[in-house]
Structure 1
Amino acid sequence: MGRLGELERTVMEVLWDRGVPVLVRDVVDALAARDLAYTTVMTVLDRLEKKKVVRRQRDGRAWRYEAVSNREGYIAQLMLDALDLTGDRSAALTRFAMSVSEPEVEVLSEALKQRDDTGPA
């Protein structure tokens, strides 16, 4: 999947916050404080679509864009992609587990219990 650039992340934040397919104009309006050109936002959305981070659908002569996954799903995929970069996933996971805070340990433990109850995702 790959990491996103700063402007791509900003555009994705709009899509994640909206939660429904939006027009390019909606994104431009949401980012009015950044004073971005319509064509700039359109280009960013086109790049995100090519990266398969967003999908688009026709709406008359325009396109509506929406995130392929939610914010949490995207971050989880980044974490899995990072694990793929190592030759030793177990070592990387162990190092990660040893570095998280106690509240995060509790969240992970609860998630693993839920997984055990329902089976792998």
Structure 2
Amino acid sequence: MPRFGELEAAIMEVVWSADKAITVREIRDRLARDPAPAYNTVLTVTEILYRKSWLVREKHGKAFRYWPAANRDDYTARLMDEALDSAEDRTAALVHFMETMTPEEMAEVRRALNAAEKAGQGSVHTTGRSPR
């Protein structure tokens, strides 16, 4: 899974930050860019994100309203999973990554793992993907 392109990332930030489903016009108006991209450009990239299943939409009058299909943490987890899949030794790569974590982050990981173990899940994610 490739990272979002620059405009894709900006659109996702707007949608993730919105407190409700929003239209392409609202997305364009909220983009922090000067000059703002053309409406058709924002529409095209928003539709691409919808086809990639990052956005959900519903018809609202003549326009569609969009909202995220997954949150920022889900996106980050997918990127991490993809990166680990590219490693020759997935476990070694994960251990190396964890060695860069702060003590506070490590404590959070331990808490999450303990909670997952107590729940009998063996996994702490909620994306619906099966754990490796």
Using structure 1 for the length normalisation, give the TM-score. Answer: 0.89
Which segments of 5 or more consecutive residues in structure 1 lack a partner in the other structure?
none
**2-structure distance, mates of 1:88, 1:58:** 46
Q: Does 1:73 align with 2:68?
A: no
Q: Percent identity?
A: 38
**1-structure distance, mates of 2:114, 2:19:** 29
Q: Does 1:31 align with 2:42?
A: no
Greater helix fraction, Structure 1 or Structure 2: 1
Which segments of 5 or more consecutive residues in structure 2 lack a partner in the other structure?
126-132
Look up the match of 1:45.
Answer: 46
Look up the match of 1:54.
Answer: 55
**2-structure distance, mates of 1:68, 1:81:** 19
**2-structure distance, mates of 1:82, 1:32:** 29
In the superposition, relative to structure 1, how do residues 103 and 67 fare at CA in structure 2: closer, same or farther (>3 Å)?
A: same
Tell me, what secondary structure is at the counterpart of 2:66? strand
Look up the match of 2:128.
Answer: none
Aligned length: 121
- Letter aligned with residue 9 of structure 1: A
How many angstroms does 1:19 deviate by?
Answer: 4.2
Tell me, what secondary structure is at the counterpart of 2:56? strand
How many angstroms does 1:33 deviate by?
Answer: 4.6
How many angstroms does 1:32 deviate by?
Answer: 6.0
Q: Which residues of 2 match residues 1-121 of structure 1 at below 5 A?
A: 1-31=1-31, 33-34=33-34, 35-118=36-119, 119=121, 120=123, 121=125
CA RMSD of aligned residues (A): 1.6
**1-structure distance, mates of 2:31, 2:22:** 13
Which stretch of the first structure deviates more once superposed, 84-93 or 7-16?
84-93
User: RCO higher in 1 or 2 (8 Å CA, sep ≥ 6)?
Assistant: 1
**2-structure distance, mates of 1:50, 1:73:** 17
